[in-house]
Chains A and B, each alone.
Chain A
Amino acid sequence: MKSTNKPKMLVAGVIVATMAFGFAIAGCSSQPKSLATTNDITYAEGQPPLMPANDHQGRWESLGVKGCLGCHGYNSDGNPTNAYATQIPDDHYVNGDHNGQLTSEREQCIQCHPLDDPSTR
């Protein structure tokens, strides 16, 4: 199994303020689960949730995958790091192990999780 050798894509202690908005935490997809929701959308299994716009505008552009992992990824504080964030499913990690690295093909988070915002620019 090839693994990336660039530490820059690891969860690198990107600390962000705890978000004020809670939403249901999506479980890892290896276990059947109830449907995840963000804002008022209900997602069927396998449908990637959109990023809530109110507190995510501009984050991808400024922080990229590190910004996403900073809240939604694993670190020693927990999985997800930010308890209020939607957990990244284990199937997004190499070998399904959230202690490891994100599968490199899944680092373009925005390609499956666009911003949910009627005024999206």
Chain B
Amino acid sequence: MEITRRNFVKATAVSLAMAAAGAAGAGALAGCSSEKGSSAGASKDGTTTYTGVCRFCGTGCGVTVQAKNGKIVSVAGDPDNCSNKGLNCVKGYYLGELLTGEDRLTKPLIRDDASTKGTDGGLREATWDEALDLVADKLRTQWKDDKSKIGLWLSGQQPITEGYLTNKFWKAGLLSNNVDCNARQCMASAVMGFMNIFGTDEPAGCYEDLDLADTFVTWGANMAECHPVLYSRFMAHKMSSDSVKHYDLTTVKTRTSANADKVMVFSPGSDIAIANAICNYIIQNNLYDQQFLNDHIQFKLGTENLGNAFDDGYDKTPAGAAANDVTPATWDQIVERFAPYTLEYASQVSGVPAADIEELAKEYADPNRKIMTLWTMGVNQHNRGTWMNHCIYNIHFLVGKIAKPGNGPFSLTGQPSACGTAREVGSFCHRLPADLLVANEQHRRYTEAIWNLPEGYLDAIKAPGMHTVKMFREMSKGNLNFLWSAHNNWAVSMPNLTRFLGLKDEYKGIFSCFTVVNEVYPTKSTQYADVVFPVAMWMEREGQFGNGERHTAVFEKACEAPGDAWWDNKVFLEVALRVLDGEKIGDADAFDALFGQIYDKNAHDFKNDMHETNRLLWEEYRTFSNPDMNDKAKAIDANADGKFAGPMHMKAKQLAPYDVYFDQHDLTWPVREINGKWVPTKWRFNDGGSQEDGFDKIGVEEMGTPGKYGDLSFYKTPNQRPSFVFRPYEPPAQEPSDEYPFWFCTGRLLEHWHTGSMTMRIPELKRAVPDGLIYMNAQDASKLGIADGDRVKVSSPYGSVEITATTANRFDCSPGYTFAAFFDDRVLINKIVEDLYDPISKESDFKKTCVKIEKA
């Protein structure tokens, strides 16, 4: 009898899990073998199976975890999870070990002498009460004195209900927008692209497109290392047919280039010239989809000659202040602006042969080929990152290939919940939950309705706060007196660490800024902390992630956190109740008004167990995308009194009731209830098929216009017309010189996650790649007298580091190009990374530093 691949992989996961459990009874795994996903169930020998999600990259692989005697004993892929269908990469299979590193933080720590910051010493153990009282006192004092000098830095690795709670505390409790997150440094350019173009964040397509496309274009994305399971998925599809093609556009050849049909190595920053040349070719040769443009698109021009955001005052310069301004344009104007972008011009700027660009343009234009463009940090961490996002959509718009099965631009996500928490929850200095903006009055009224705040209460936060780079720049100058970070390791991941770690005389702010870090292991960031809170990680508590395809997944609590480590939510609530002590919102006690439904401040404990607490938080959060749950919100959403510009269409991001996610592992939002069953949407804005088949039938019927060209209706976009914005090529902020002759790019490797604080504690992953290395071209190394394995000094205008050089071909660098991953905090490569950001998204450019290299 034939079995489907899904059933097969499922059987594999079950057999693995059973073997690990020592022949666990089949009953334990009953959930796995039903059509629905599994949730916790105990077996006879004390082994329990839990639903989980990998806590590393943005792919969001579902995992099945078995725990016994309080310890995780096996991790297998979850075949019911639509994102990975049972597969993991090496990091996923070793997830269990990340909890048990020898140096887990188990006690609160306090630093009494700030001059010991940056050293291994200076922290002493403290009680929770002492640490909480100290942090609350510092925060409350600074908040009362000058709340512009407090900051909170969150993460795309924070579970959804935790991000929701901390944002509510900061924005509604402290009325401060100085909250931003590390997704700013990861996805912000993609976010600004989505918002500018569609008026709604996150992609129209889904991972299933990887099984359906005829042509794949990876552009600034090393998927083989950074999204391994998705790479395997499209490679599997590619190998299944001789007609599937892959084009890889990159500045350094990577493992992703290895199996590509064509690799196009371009000069840093010239990607926009290539994209515009593709558009121009399609226009000049009349290969565009006229009706798609007529029926769906509006054209715009934007501010140009933006300069670069090197200086702290950039945002207030004329170019900085107007960076995201646009004006309507005609088709003729657009055509005229593209005209200079000939194949020859793009070739000259980029170094890519004109014939290759032409071939790719034809590939995009071929009406018989479905095409998927995939990109990540090469596009986002870019001094013109938002522009480059626009450019990719421009190409897809011209040929009408978007939001259709197998067809679409697809922004890959960096972190496990960059979408779910950072973006959907709104952990940004300008956002409220569910895409809402602090600056928009209707959005504030809507949020007040759901948070049960007096009308106008949030007008106090209508001005955005400090974005990430501004927060750290101000901190380094002594203008931030309280900084709290959680679920991240800023002291390794930020650029220009030479400045932010106080290694330069004029920037000593880190020593005077009271710094709080929630952490699981000692890191560079805890070396700079005044207080360290030890917290639960991964499946030591229950949580939720939202991945790059709008898929929401839950992970169950499978074991206890070690020692005195707490759930982050308890830490934040205990500080909140102290800081808000005696404060009022209207006539109500402020803490109780915000968190009384889940937390008893007198008992210093949650009112319910962790699952119910999460459920209550989720149901409140879910109201943002289910306005029918709140009458006041419903009226504002519908613009019932005509006070605002129009309806908000909040159901466009509809989420399901919390418990549904434990039974179903295939819920990509918007989810729709049909006859009591919750059904995902795979292709947003497309009503070319039934809701049950993954099309956005209900969304288009309720909020859009059925029957439009291509079965598409962009109902969340103003005028239902996404924006095609011409963006010109402007050269990189810096280019190699006699003094700094090499391009230097940072990024990730397969084996290590971000700053290595977790994966460097998994013995097998550390063995696989124990040291951060700088990859060089062999001829370049030879000219400098550098042999493979030599120590070198790498310097930029920002600082210098010592690191081991290699000429091995994991990264095949052309002459003049170098690459290093940033996981090794002994190297601390980001000390040399340039400090400038995209003027629109405020995301740092980590990819184009100019450096010199000498033998150490």
* Binding partners A and B: yes
Q: Which residue numbers of A lie inside 8 Å of B, CB to CB? A: 1-2, 4-6, 8-9, 29-33, 41, 43-48, 50, 61, 64, 91, 94-96, 103-108, 110-121
B232 contacts chain A at the CB level, 8 A cutoff: yes
Give the shortest distance, in Å, between A89 (CB) and chain B (any CB): 9
B767: which of A94, A106, A116 is its contact (CB, 8 Å)? A116
- In chain B, positions 1-41 with a C-beta closer than 8 Å to chain A are 2-5, 8-9, 11-12, 15-20, 22-23
CB closest chain-B residue, reference A89: B12
B23 touches A32 (CB 8 A): yes
A107 touches B232 (CB 8 A): yes
A111 touches B228 (CB 8 A): yes
Q: A96-B8, A114-B90 in contact; A47/B235 too (CB < 8 A)?
A: no
Q: A104-B240, A111-B228 in contact; A32/B90 too (CB < 8 A)?
A: no
B3 touches A32 (CB 8 A): no
A105 touches B233 (CB 8 A): yes
Residues from chain A with Cβ under 8 Å of B3 in the complex: 1, 95
A114 touches B240 (CB 8 A): no
Residues from chain A with Cβ under 8 Å of B510 in the complex: none
Q: A50-B767, A112-B93 in contact; A106/B15 too (CB < 8 A)?
A: no
CB closest chain-B residue, reference A5: B240
B689 contacts chain A at the CB level, 8 A cutoff: no
Residues from chain A with Cβ under 8 Å of B18 in the complex: 32
A30 CA to B20 CA in the complex, in Å?
11
Q: A95-B3, A118-B767 in contact; A45/B93 too (CB < 8 A)?
A: no
B239 touches A33 (CB 8 A): no
B75 contacts chain A at the CB level, 8 A cutoff: yes
19 CB-based A-B contacts, threshold 8 Å: A1-B2, A6-B239, A31-B19, A32-B19, A45-B16, A48-B90, A50-B767, A50-B768, A64-B259, A96-B8, A104-B235, A105-B233, A108-B232, A111-B89, A111-B229, A112-B88, A118-B767, A121-B773, A121-B808
Task: Please provide the 3 A-B residue pairs with the shortest distance between their CB atoms, ordered closest to farther.
Answer: A121-B808, A104-B236, A91-B12
B454 contacts chain A at the CB level, 8 A cutoff: no
16 new A-B contacts at CB < 8 Å, known A50-B767, A111-B224: A4-B240, A8-B239, A30-B19, A41-B767, A47-B93, A61-B809, A105-B87, A105-B236, A108-B232, A110-B255, A111-B90, A111-B229, A114-B769, A115-B768, A118-B767, A120-B769
Residues from chain A with Cβ under 8 Å of B4 in the complex: 1
A119 touches B239 (CB 8 A): no
Residues from chain B with Cβ under 8 Å of A48 in the complex: 90, 93
A96 CA to B5 CA in the complex, in Å?
10
A46 touches B5 (CB 8 A): no
B718 contacts chain A at the CB level, 8 A cutoff: no
A94 CA to B768 CA in the complex, in Å?
29
B258 contacts chain A at the CB level, 8 A cutoff: yes
Inter-chain contact total with CB atoms closer than 8 Å:
134
Residues from chain B with Cβ under 8 Å of A103 in the complex: 5, 8-9, 236
A45 touches B88 (CB 8 A): no
A107 touches B236 (CB 8 A): yes
Residues from chain B with Cβ under 8 Å of A108 in the complex: 224, 228, 231-232, 235
Residues from chain A with Cβ under 8 Å of B236 in the complex: 103-105, 107
A6 touches B20 (CB 8 A): no
Q: A50-B767, A96-B8, A121-B788 in contact; A112/B89 too (CB < 8 A)?
A: yes
Q: A2-B240, A46-B16 in contact; A114/B228 too (CB < 8 A)?
A: no
A91 CA to B96 CA in the complex, in Å?
21
B19: which of A6, A29, A110, A117 is its contact (CB, 8 Å)? A29
CB closest chain-A residue, reference B773: A121
Residues from chain A with Cβ under 8 Å of B255 in the complex: 110
Residues from chain A with Cβ under 8 Å of B767 in the complex: 41, 50, 116-118
Q: A111-B89, A121-B773 in contact; A106/B232 too (CB < 8 A)?
A: yes
B810 touches A46 (CB 8 A): no
A107 CA to B764 CA in the complex, in Å?
21
Q: Which of A1, A31, A46 has the most CB of B within 10 A?
A: A46
When each residue 757-781 of chain B gets 1 if its CB lies under 8 Å from chain A and 0 otherwise, what string results?
Answer: 0000001110111100100000000
B810 touches A114 (CB 8 A): no
B19 touches A96 (CB 8 A): no
Q: A44-B74, A45-B74, A91-B15 in contact; A107/B5 too (CB < 8 A)?
A: no
CB closest chain-A residue, reference B88: A112
B73 contacts chain A at the CB level, 8 A cutoff: yes
CB closest chain-B residue, reference A31: B19
Q: A105-B233, A107-B232, A107-B239 in contact; A121/B75 too (CB < 8 A)?
A: no
Give the shortest distance, in Å, between B781 (CB) and chain A (any CB): 12
B113 contacts chain A at the CB level, 8 A cutoff: no
B5 touches A2 (CB 8 A): yes
- In chain B, positions 213-235 with a C-beta closer than 8 Å to chain A are 224, 228-229, 231-233, 235
Residues from chain B with Cβ under 8 Å of A112 in the complex: 88-90, 93
Q: Which of B259, B789, B810 has the most CB of A within 10 A?
A: B810
Residues from chain A with Cβ under 8 Å of B763 in the complex: 41
